[in-house]
Amino acid sequence: MERQSRWTLRAAPHLVKATYKVCPWCSKPIGKQFDCHHWLIKRGRLPKVMFPEIDVVVNVIAVHHSCHMQYGQTKEFERRCAILASETFGPEVILKWYNSVSERTNLQPKDSLGVQ
């Protein structure tokens, strides 16, 4: 049996928190209460049947609820998520995962996350 890669582990909240530890927006530690944010591929982009593929640790970051509510829809929020995820997994890993999903959807493949 092939061992599952860490970045494709199912994004259970405790695992998401343990992976990132700090909020991508304010860089302060994540406490008991937090939101799980799909930063790279949003659920709205794909049919429900593909949700398990994007509910993975590489795509879901723990964020403070207040930071999420205030800034979650901004480009800067997405940029800071890309930086934190890149520091955690490396941009190559994130792009490899993203492009493997994009091959089977109408998402455009990427050759960069734009933050390196």
What are the tokens at 115?
Answer: 């933050």
Fill in the per-residue mask, 76 to 115: x = in contact with Zn ion (CB under 5 A), - = not in contact: ----------------------------------------
Say if CB 64 and CB 30 are below 8 A apart.
yes
Selected binder of Zn ion within 16, 64, 98, 101 (CB under 5 A): 64
- How many residues make contact with Zn ion (CB under 5 A)? 5
Please identify, using beta-carbon distances, which residue of 62 and 101 lies nearer to Zn ion: 62
Residue nearest to Zn ion (CB): 23
Sole residue written with tokens 């520091």: 87
Backbone angles phi and psi of 71, in degrees to 5: -125, -5
Distances (CA, A) of 88 to 18, 58, 61, 73, 93: 11, 9, 11, 22, 10
CA atoms of 87 and 31, how far apart (whole Å): 20
Rule CB under 5 A: say whether 58 interacts with Zn ion.
Answer: no
Rule CB under 5 A: say whether 25 interacts with Zn ion.
Answer: yes
Q: At closest approach, how far in Å is the CB of 68 from Zn ion?
A: 8
The binding site for Zn ion (CB under 5 A) comprises: 23, 25-26, 64, 67
